[in-house]
A and B are shown apart, each in its own frame.
Chain A
Amino acid sequence: MSKLPAGAKIYLAIVFVILYLPIFYLIFYSFNSGGTMHSFESFTLEHYAALFEDTRLLVILINTVLIALLSALIATIIGTFGAIGIVSVKSKRVRSTLLSLNNVLIVNPDVIIGASFLILFTIIGVKLGFTSVLVSHVAFSVPIVVLMVLPKLLEMDSTLIDAALDLGATKRDVLTRVILPYIQPGIFAGFFLALTYSLDDFAVTFFVTGNGFSTLSVEIYSMARTGITLTVNAISGIVFLITLLVVIGYFIVLRRSAKNNELEVRA
Chain B
Amino acid sequence: MKISSKSSLIPYVLWIIVFVVAPIILVVYYSLLDLNGNFTLSNYKNFFSASYLKMTITSFWYAFLITFFTLVVAYPTAYLLTKTKYKQIWLILIIVPSWINLLLKTYAFMGIFGLYGPINAFLEVFGAVPTQILFTDFSFIFVAVYIFIPFMILPIFNSLDKLDKSLIYAARDLGASGWTTFRRVIFPLTIDGVKSGIQVTFIPALSLFMITRLIAGNKVITLGTAIEQQFLVAQNWGMGSTIAVFLILIMVIIMLFTGYQTRGGRVR
Contacts and interface: CB of A to CB of B under 8 A. Distances in A.
Given A23-B104, A110-B204, A236-B108, 4 more contacts: A12-B84, A37-B117, A81-B11, A111-B223
Contacts of B97: 19-20, 23
Interface stretch (A45-53, A55-63, A99-107, A259-267): A99-107
6 contacts: A12-B81, A19-B97, A82-B9, A116-B23, A236-B108, A240-B100
Label chain A's interface by main secondary structure: helix
B103 A112 contact: no
Contact of A1 (B10, B27, B85): B85
Nearest to A88: B5
A227 B115 CA distance: 13
B266 interface: yes
A119 interface: yes
Given A87-B1, A109-B224, A119-B26, A25 B112 contact: yes
B203 A109 contact: yes
Interface in A161-188: 161-162, 165, 171, 174-175
Given A19-B94, A112-B247, A26 B111 contact: yes
Looking at B77, B100, B110, B116, the one whose CB has the most chain A CB atoms below 10 A away is: B100
A107 B102 contact: no
B251 A109 contact: yes
Interface string B180-214: 00000000000000000001000110110110011
B96 A243 contact: yes
A118 interface: yes
A106 to B, nearest CB: 5
Contacts of B111: 25-26, 29, 37-38, 228
Interface in A1-31: 1-4, 8, 11-12, 15-16, 18-20, 22-23, 25-26, 29
Interface of A: 1-4, 8, 11-12, 15-16, 18-20, 22-23, 25-26, 29, 36-39, 78-79, 81-82, 84-89, 98, 101-113, 115-120, 123, 139, 142, 144, 146-148, 153, 156, 158, 161-162, 165, 171, 174-175, 193, 196-197, 199-204, 206-207, 216-217, 220-221, 224-225, 227-228, 232, 235-236, 239-240, 243-244, 247, 251
Given A147-B262, A247-B96, A111 B228 contact: yes
B203 A196 contact: no
Interface residue tally of chain B, by bracket?
A: 35 or more
A144 B224 CA distance: 23
A123 B19 CA distance: 13
B268 A148 contact: no
Nearest to A235: B104
B102 A202 contact: yes
B101 interface: yes
A251 to B, nearest CB: 8
Contact of A207 (B96, B112, B232, B262): B232
Contacts of B21: 101
Contacts of A8: 80, 83
B4 interface: yes
A200 B99 contact: yes
Contact of A11 (B77, B117, B214, B231): B77
